[in-house]
């Protein structure tokens, strides 16, 4: 395909994309397929000779679209939103064309520098404390990670290193691998212990990070709002210290995945600081809302954190992947990853100015697991400018209002109950009655393919999560979804078994 | 921006991209900037009100383009290629529009299933042994990772777990953190020891993985072709075992970053198998060439490997990021990452067929660090079909021929020497003489902004790497680059200091 054909096919693809998104609600939101459906629809080997573009695009409709869960359908209410907007898609096209691999400043200066400045813009939109803003001479700053899991893992690895430097008398071991170690042997060692807020409701990414980081993990119990308070953490830290462990890391969650609960960071932060524990705050979904002054108080306590992360690719209209992470001290995080073979060095790295700005602390590859990186800050730049702060705030507020609208509908129906406070765009609800009843309702909903939800578990109860996801979801979709749910409920309750 | 404006702006962007790539060689390949150039060119905060698309695009030329290292310029010969093709860019547009987060089969069945089949296609193109192909009932299979660094890390983590299951009597610790541990205490423990082929010439990703995995690492010495042979590994393994360590992981490199050297995997493989060590083969750059029968023998020995990885995003015309990884046993790798909270479970996961095909072994989030993943297999599908195997082979062969052409030019000039055998698209060369002389030559080249190279170190010597990178590089660009280098050499040798 040459440039001339790309011009033609590119226009067709732009129209295909626009058509897809304009008409998405006519497609069943969730596919009706058996696993393994695709393999029989296409050849078992790549073709030897080139095929035509028309044939490929025909197969997109024949093979791919029937197997898509349409995340951008206004009837998609599962998981959390995956952000999507036209400006972000345009920026991604530009990113693909530039196609630089920004592992160092020299590999494409604009890629490193725009990212640094965009994370400053975003940090200011969230009113992060000054210490997280890079500016021209700050010690903190932000970086784009792929996902919140990577941000959590990186903060954990940085904490391990940080703690090992501070606790010169202790050894950081892998206690979870030491199950054969008798008590006598163990007493020779001081183990590191990770204490993340991995309540049963927090995100599995923390658990994964602990697994990869190879550290022990304790789950801190939550209060009746499914949030962690200071006294719970304090008690656990004391217990563990008494048992000879060193707690060194705590991950607070603002907006948990199951119910969007908010840990009490103003209580938790001082404890972490006193105990010399690294505090990471994960606000993967809810973080975007902090650009609205009315939601910003939920972020109070951030001043105690060592690192903070949220995903603009969830709720800030920036297509996946774009997870924003800030640290108070860049040097804390770089040491855990720094490698500089000759082929990645460049002349400017040696200059005084670069040394300050980019040589060590702004070589963004030292901030992440992968070596290479795409020019993802272009998406932020396009979205921030084309929506403006006010446009982004309007998007958040609209989706929160839609959640409140759905909440009202549920509350008005005595057969249902709301299971957690509705603060953002997520409503946790269930039919009053058994878990089985609710499981059956969800099965009916899934089978209908008209709307798509996923469940969660709160205090042992099977709960339905209704998340406002698509940018194009309007009141009429909420009303239609509720009519559909009540219709299926009516049918369910008619069945002899209930 | 609504769909109508997106149609208009999308077309404009398609033209901008085509114009950019058609005229890229008129831009200086490497920017002439001081670090920190960008911050003063844009506001220090995001705008409150939306700005116009025209203003954003004007700033792309004003702010971004002057800071770009143009990886797709035919005069870019640095690092290794970053693949780029029009079909891949079209597929990426579609990927952005679908915008699914494919962390489970249910989150978009097509996303998981196409990836599995595309990795089978690609595995067959490389003639991987049958055990790496998933098919409908195989135990192995492939997955797309972001980068080779992630693939290396994941294979290391899998090896750690695998080894800890096999060696029930040993403890896997973090010996690099045990510097305070006296010999008496140490003798109570059996340490795990990683032995990757991290010759000074291998990729820094292995070193990074060891750092993150928290294991000790030894570098295996190389022969005069900068490759690792069997006897070197064997000797080191024996030494370490005698010292009470357990070697458990070895990473062989096919096509090292500095000089594109090939480890002798047919010798190394049997040693790893005998010693019960996990063998990972990293062919990040060179792997693409194995689709050509004449290069396939370099992959011999793959049958001994537990995992294998290469980057189609380097040399197979698939835009970044797309790193292909295969394992012999899916179950080895999944255990290291598996987490299944309720909100990620789905009904089909329970069915017999899914259990076999997708429930555990094909939930691709268990294969990687991040939870979320984009629909990257679309890029592979578009590229494989629109080029055909023959088209892809032609691309590889053309770039190898261009490297040979450059090699001939260097060899014909007695002032220069070739520093490593030219097997793929990389030529390592230098001026006969001091390192300083070659450093000065490279400085002149960089400053000229006409072509872009990076250096490496081979046997203590400062060497220039000339890698054929852009899809559009032709013989005339090679000839022009060499004229330019010899002109700068002439000037350099005229200077009084030489």
- Quote the mean pLDDT of chain B: 86
Q: What is the ipTM of this complex?
A: 0.90
Q: A308 - beta bridge partners? A: A281, A326
pLDDT at A214: 66
Which chain B residue is nearest to residue A208, measuring alpha carbons?
A: B337
Find out whether B485 and B478 touch, Cβ atoms under 8 Å.
no
pLDDT at B159: 84
B14 to A7: CB separation less than 8 angstroms, yes or no: yes
Q: Which helix (H) or strand (E) holds A282?
A: strand A278-282
A384 to B96: CB separation less than 8 angstroms, yes or no: no
Find out whether A101 and B82 touch, Cβ atoms under 8 Å.
yes
A14 to B18: CB separation less than 8 angstroms, yes or no: no
Q: How far apart are CA A243 and CA A219, in angstroms?
A: 16
- How far lies B111's CA from each of A70, A271, B107, B368, in Å? 12, 44, 8, 15
Nearest Cα to B36, choosing from A120, A329, A344?
A120
Size of interface A-B (CB pairs under 8 A): 486
Q: How far apart are CA A468 and CA B19, in angstroms?
A: 40
B3 to A16: CB separation less than 8 angstroms, yes or no: no
pLDDT at B471: 97
Which chain A residue is nearest to residue B15, measuring alpha carbons?
A: A7
The domain locations on chain B are 95-383
Instruction: Return the structure tokens found at A156.
Output: 């954990």
Give the distance, in angstroms, between the CA of residue B215 and the centroid of all CA atoms in the same chain. Answer: 22
pLDDT at B370: 72
Instruction: Return the structure tokens found at A344.
Output: 């990645």
Q: Is the pLDDT of residue B147 over 50?
A: yes
Non-local CB neighbours of A391 within 8 Å, separated by 6+ positions: B50
Chain B contact set for A33 (CB, 8 A) = 109
A98 to B71: CB separation less than 8 angstroms, yes or no: yes
Specify the long-range contacts of residues B213-217, CB closer than 8 Å, at least 24 apart: B213/A214, B213/B153, B213/B156, B213/B157, B213/B160, B214/A160, B214/A174, B214/A213, B214/A214, B214/B174, B214/B176, B214/B177, B215/B156, B215/B160, B215/B174, B215/B175, B215/B176, B215/B249, B216/B175, B216/B176, B216/B191, B216/B192, B216/B245
Q: A329 - beta bridge partners? A: none
pLDDT at B491: 97
Whose structure tokens read 């990040």? B284
Q: How far apart are CA B345 and CA B338, in angstroms?
A: 12
Q: How many helices (H) and strands (E) does chain B have?
A: 15, 11
Q: In A110-202, at which residue ranges do the beta strands (DSSP E only) sit?
A: 141-145, 191-194
Q: In what order do the strands lie in the sheet with B416-418?
A: B416-418, B426-431, B461-467, B454-458
Q: Is the pLDDT of residue B274 over 70?
A: yes
Q: How far apart are CA A431 and CA A217, in angstroms?
A: 35
| Beta pairing class for A191-194 and A245-253 | parallel
Q: How far apart are CA B261 and CA B263, in angstroms?
A: 7
Task: Average the pLDDT over B436-464 and give the result.
Answer: 96
Alpha helices in A196-339 (DSSP H): 204-213, 230-242, 265-274, 312-315, 330-334
Mutation site, B67, B96, B122, B184, interface A, largest A CB count within 10 A? B96
Nearest Cα to A304, choosing from A276, A323, A325?
A276
| Beta pairing class for B191-194 and B245-253 | parallel
Q: B251 - beta bridge partners? A: B280
A39 to B109: CB separation less than 8 angstroms, yes or no: no
Chain A contact set for B455 (CB, 8 A) = 342-343
pLDDT digits (tens, 9 = 90+) for B48-68: 999 999 999 999 999 999 999
Mutation site, B85, B135, B209, B372, interface A, largest A CB count within 10 A? B372
pLDDT digits (tens, 9 = 90+) for B394-407: 999 999 999 999 99
Q: How far apart are CA A160 and CA B431, in angstroms?
A: 46
pLDDT at A217: 76
Instruction: Return the structure tokens found at A260.
Output: 């969007």
A86 to B457: CB separation less than 8 angstroms, yes or no: no
pLDDT digits (tens, 9 = 90+) for B171-181: 333 333 332 22
pLDDT interval class at B244 (50, 70, 90): confident
pLDDT digits (tens, 9 = 90+) for A49-99: 999 999 999 999 999 999 999 999 999 999 999 999 999 999 999 999 999
Question: Which stretches in chain A have pLDDT values below 70?
Answer: 162-204, 211, 213-214, 335-369
DSSP A84: -
Q: How far apart are CA B331 and CA B337, in angstroms?
A: 11
Instruction: Return the structure tokens found at A362.
Output: 């702004």
Q: Is the pLDDT of residue B241 over 90?
A: no
The second-level CATH assignment, the architecture, of B95-383 is 3-Layer(aba) Sandwich (3.40)
Q: Is B89 helix (H, G, I), strand (E, B) or coil?
A: helix
DSSP A102: -
Q: How far apart are CA A267 and CA A271, in angstroms?
A: 7
pLDDT at B175: 34
Nearest to A372 among B2, B17, B320 (CB): B320
A173 CA to chain B: closest CA distance, Å? 6
pLDDT at B248: 86
Higher-confidence position of A103 and B227: B227
Task: Average the pLDDT over B251-258 and give the result.
Answer: 93
Q: Which helix (H) or strand (E) holds B483?
A: helix B475-494
> CATH 1.10.10.2160: does it fit domain A3-83?
no
Q: How far apart are CA A453 and CA A464, in angstroms?
A: 7
Q: Is B456 helix (H, G, I), strand (E, B) or coil?
A: strand
Give the burial class of A7: count Cβ atoms within 10 A of its Cβ; 0-12 exposed, 13-18 middle, 19 or more buried: middle
B35 to A443: CB separation less than 8 angstroms, yes or no: no
- How far lies B454's CA from each of A342, B50, B257, B426, in Å? 8, 41, 11, 12
Instruction: Return the structure tokens found at A407.
Output: 């909440």
Q: Is A486 helix (H, G, I), strand (E, B) or coil?
A: helix
- How far lies B421's CA from each of A241, B193, B235, B285, B412, in Å? 59, 32, 26, 16, 16
Chain B contact set for A99 (CB, 8 A) = 71-72, 82, 84, 319-320
pLDDT at B154: 85
Find out whether A64 and B97 touch, Cβ atoms under 8 Å.
no
Instruction: Return the structure tokens found at A288.
Output: 């975007």
């Amino acid at each position: 395909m040459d440039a001339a054909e790309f011009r033609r096919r590119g226009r067709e693809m732009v129209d295909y994309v626009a058509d897809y998104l304009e008409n998405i609600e006519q497609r069943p939101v969730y596919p009706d397929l058996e696993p393994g459906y695709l393999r029989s629809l296409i050849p078992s080997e790549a073709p030897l000779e080139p095929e035509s573009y028309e044939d490929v695009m025909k197969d997109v409709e024949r093979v791919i679209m029937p197997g898509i869960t349409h995340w951008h359908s206004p009837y998609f209410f599962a998981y959390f939103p995956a952000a999507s907007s036209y400006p972000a898609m345009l920026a991604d096209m530009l990113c693909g064309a530039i196609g630089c691999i920004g592992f160092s400043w020299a590999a494409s200066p604009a890629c490193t520098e725009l990212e640094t400045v965009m994370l400053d813009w975003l940090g200011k939109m969230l009113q992060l404390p000054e210490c997280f803003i890079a500016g021209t001479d700050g010690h903190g700053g932000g970086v784009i990670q792929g996902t919140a899991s990577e941000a959590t893992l990186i903060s954990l690895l940085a904490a391990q290193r940080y703690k090992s430097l501070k606790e010169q008398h202790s050894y950081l071991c892998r206690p979870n691998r030491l199950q054969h170690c008798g008590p006598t042997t163990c007493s020779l060692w001081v183990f590191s212990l990770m204490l993340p807020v991995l309540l049963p409701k927090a995100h599995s990414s923390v658990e994964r990070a602990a697994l990869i980081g190879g550290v022990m993990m304790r789950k801190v119990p939550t209060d009746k709002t499914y949030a962690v308070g200071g006294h719970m953490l304090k008690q656990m830290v004391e217990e563990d210290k008494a048992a000879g462990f060193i707690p060194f890391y705590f991950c607070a969650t603002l907006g948990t995945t199951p119910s969007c609960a908010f840990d009490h960071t103003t209580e938790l932060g001082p404890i972490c600081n006193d105990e010399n524990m690294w505090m990471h705050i994960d606000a993967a979904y809810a973080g975007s809302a902090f650009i609205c002054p009315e939601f910003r108080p939920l972020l109070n306590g951030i001043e105690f954190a060592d690192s903070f992360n949220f995903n603009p690719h969830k709720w800030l209209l920036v297509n996946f992947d774009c997870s924003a992470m800030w640290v108070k001290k860049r040097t804390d995080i770089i040491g855990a990853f720094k490698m500089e073979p000759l082929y990645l060095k460049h002349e400017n790295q040696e200059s005084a100015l670069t040394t300050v700005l980019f040589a060590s602390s702004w070589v963004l590859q030292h901030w992440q697991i992968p070596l290479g990186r795409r020019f993802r800050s272009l998406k932020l730049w396009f979205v921030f400018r084309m929506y403006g702060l006010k446009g982004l705030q309007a998007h958040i507020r609209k989706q929160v209002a839609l959640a409140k609208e759905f909440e009202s509908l549920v509350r008005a129906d005595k057969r249902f109950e709301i299971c957690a406070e509705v603060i953002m765009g997520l409503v946790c609800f269930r039919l009053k009655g058994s878990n089985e009843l609710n499981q059956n309702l969800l099965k009916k909903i899934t089978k209908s393919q008209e709307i798509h939800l996923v469940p969660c578990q709160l205090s042992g109860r099977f709960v339905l999560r209704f998340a406002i996801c698509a940018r194009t979801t309007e009141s009429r979709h909420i009303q239609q979804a509720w009519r559909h749910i009540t219709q299926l409920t009516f049918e369910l309750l008619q069945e002899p078994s209930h």
